[in-house]
Amino acid sequence: MKITDINNIYKNTNKTHMKHLLLAATVLISISAFSQSDKYESAMKQALQQYDSAKSMADLESIAAKFQRIGDAEKTQWLPYYWSGLALTRTGWMYFPNDKGVTAVKTDNLSSTIDALSGRINALEDKADALATDDDAKSEILLIRNMAYTQQMIIDPQTRYMTYGMQAGTALDKAMDLNPNNPRAYYLKGSSLFGTPEQFGGGKAAAKPMFEKAVELGKAEQQKPLMPHWGLELSEQMLAACQ
């Protein structure tokens, strides 16, 4: 056998070996990616179950931290930061009287507490927004900002409306522009009108069409794994309150 023949055999063997190595590497990368994706989805589903059952402020703070840890570990997913912010908005409402006039959590300085909380929420939504790639996602993120600003505003509407009320309205309007079929946007719009005096364009009559639209869109919405799914029951309750 000639030396050139041996060299050709060696080269061909090397090429075949490299192809096998590349194929094996591709398979391993694919398996790793699927494994990471499965791990992420499993962690998120478990966290969402805990979110849905959370009742106390301690529960919500814990689940907000869990979502944030998932987001920090993944680095490419906007949803963990979205859900973390939403959990914190739920803690925010606990500082205000409910429909029965009961305040779940008391604080010595409501302004400082809510302003600090809003800062945390918006920092999370900054991370979510940096990772979101479509208008529907950005619409959902803006609704979290709307709630954070609204909580800051209602501490003292007379002195805070021009700052936080305007920011809340801008966030909500932009969310509706980005996704006109977002049922949660209509729920929040209706809630804003419901709490606004009639002489300023609010009241039950003004809010009712918003809640009707929220219910219509909420019932038609196809729920997707891990995606926002809240709002329908709340919209139905508020629509009933408008009757």
Give the dihedral sign, CA 125/127/129/131.
Answer: negative
Contact assessment for residue 172 and residue 187, using Cβ atoms and an 8 Å cutoff: no
26 has a pLDDT exceeding 60: no
pTM for the predicted model, two decimal places: 0.85
* CB contact set of 80 (below 8 Å; sequence gap of 6+): 44, 47, 67, 68, 70, 71, 74
Residues 181, 185, 191, 194, Cα dihedral to 10°: -50
102: phi > 0 → left, psi -120 to 50 → alpha, else beta; which?
beta
CB atoms within 10 A of CB 149: 24
Instruction: Please report the pLDDT score of residue 19 as a whole number.
Output: 54
Residue 24 has pLDDT above 50, yes or no: no
pLDDT digits 0-9 by tens, 85-143? 999 999 999 999 988 899 999 999 999 999 999 999 999 999 999 999 999 999 999 99
Average pLDDT, the chain: 89
- pLDDT above 60 (res 64): yes
Half-sphere exposure of 94 (CA within 13 A, CB side): 19
Q: Which CATH number fits domain 46-241: 3.40.50, 3.40.1000, 1.20.1300, 1.25.40?
A: 1.25.40
Q: What confidence tens digit (pLDDT) does each residue in 189-241 have?
A: 999 999 999 999 999 999 999 999 999 999 999 989 999 999 999 999 999 99
Query: What whole-number distance in Å separates Cα of residue 81 and Cα of residue 88?
Result: 11
pLDDT at 100: 86
**What's residue 15's pLDDT?**
53
